[in-house]
Amino acid sequence: MPHVSREEKIMKKSSLLIITMLLLLALAACGSDSGNGYRFTVGVIQMMDHPSLNEIRIAFLDEMEQLGFTDVDFDIRIGPGADMTALTSIAQVFVGNEVDLIMSITTPATQAVANVTSDIPIVFGAVSDPVAAGLVADLNRPDRNITGTSDNLAVELVFELARQLAPDARTFGLVYNLGEDNSVAIINRVKAYFAANGLYYYEAPVTGTADVQQAALSLVGRVDAFFTPTDNTVAAAMPVFAQVAIEAGLPIFTGADSMVADGGLAAVGVNYTILGIETARIAARLLEGEAIADVPVVVMSEFTPTVNRETAEAIGIDTDGLVGVNFR
């Protein structure tokens, strides 16, 4: 065996150490930067503090980390609700700070951002109808600086569940905010569904959370059940709305399981954790340099029925025999 001097051993160890350090530096350069030490900044605007919206944000941030974006500066800002002035102010801060990408949660938040920048990439989460909201013209090939994920409601599935739980309900009270384009788009589809299926409705539109209780009370005695879309304004006042409905013995059907958790009877909606994950994957593609036009809007297609068993018992609805349903 040839003799290896002490000096040669030291040189070999030094070489291995240098190689190891270079590999670590190369790995650190992957994921959140472009390999040149650049650090991404992502602005996150959420319309308001609400369980469903929080779920999206948390899933988005967790998935970004899983995808290797561990060295990103996230500027997270939560608005007061459907106040376009406040949401626009947040959007303007992101533009002024020259963030690399904006992730927006809900239709109003996305519209606020879209109105102040046509350059910064925008990735939205939980926009029910991006075309009706004027955000994109083509879901498959976005024509602006905007793409993302849609939680468009499966209207037919909601009312199939309604037929199971409240088969005698023929007239529905519609409670929603006229100022939320996402809600208006869904309500228009609901009205078309009613016309095709011999159902009737009364409307009680609201402009803010303070109006929800009175709107619900105005429909008591005239309707057999309530329906509210994935409306952010109504969601914020859902416990009060649910109290009115339970006292009147009326079910509330909706499209978000968080609204069921707050006292509504039943919903058929998307999984917002999965939606947040999909939104992160889109953001990652854009940060890695893919063109927005090549990143279609992802319309969530898996829906889960959810029923509040306590509410069902309170208004005398039998949930025995229901299959494939999550109970809250």
| pLDDT score for 27 | 44
Q: Which residues of the chain have pLDDT under 70?
A: 1-37
Query: What is the Cα–Cα distance from 282 to 262, expressed in whole angstroms?
Result: 31
Tokens of 266: 């039943």
Per the CATH hierarchy, to which homologous superfamily does domain 41-151+271-296 belong?
A: Response regulator (3.40.50.2300)
Is residue 279 a contact partner of residue 321, using CB atoms and an 8 Å limit? no
| pLDDT score for 25 | 43
| pLDDT score for 141 | 95
Q: Do domains 41-151+271-296 and 155-269+305-327 have the same CATH topology?
A: yes
Query: What is the Cα–Cα distance from 19 to 25, expressed in whole angstroms?
Result: 10
Is residue 93 a contact partner of residue 44, using CB atoms and an 8 Å limit? no
- Let me know if domain 155-269+305-327 sits in CATH 3.40.50.2300: yes
Summary mean pLDDT of the chain: 90
Burial class of 314 by CB neighbour count within 10 A (0 to 12, 13 to 18, 19+): middle
Name beta bridge partners: 74. Answer: 42
Tokens of 212: 């929800």
Q: Where are the domains of the chain?
A: 41-151+271-296, 155-269+305-327
Tokens of 299: 């319309």
Is residue 264 a contact partner of residue 308, using CB atoms and an 8 Å limit? yes
Backbone angles phi, psi at 100, to 5 degrees: -80, -25
| pLDDT score for 90 | 98
The pTM score is 0.82
| pLDDT score for 326 | 86
Q: What angle do CA 108, 269, 91 make, to 5 degrees?
A: 20
* Sequence letter at residue 67: L
Cα radius of gyration rounded to whole Å, the chain: 25
SS3 26: helix
List the strands of the sheet with 146-150, edge to edge: 73-78, 41-46, 101-105, 122-125, 146-150, 298-299
* pLDDT tens, residue by residue, 166-192: 999 999 999 999 999 889 999 999 999
Name beta bridge partners: 203. Answer: 174
Give the list of residues 6+ apart from residue 223 with CB closer than 8 angstroms, or none.
Answer: 171, 172, 173, 201, 202, 250
Query: What is the Cα–Cα distance from 67 to 69, expressed in whole angstroms?
Result: 6
Query: What is the Cα–Cα distance from 53 to 36, expressed in whole angstroms?
Result: 34
How many angstroms separate the first and last alpha carbons of the chain? Answer: 73
* Sequence letter at residue 181: D
| pLDDT score for 82 | 82
Query: What is the Cα–Cα distance from 106 to 53, expressed in whole angstroms?
Result: 8
Count of beta carbons in the 10 Å neighbourhood of residue 168 = 7
| pLDDT score for 325 | 86
Query: What is the Cα–Cα distance from 247 to 281, expressed in whole angstroms?
Result: 44
48 to 78, 88, 105, 235: CA distances (angstroms): 5, 13, 9, 10
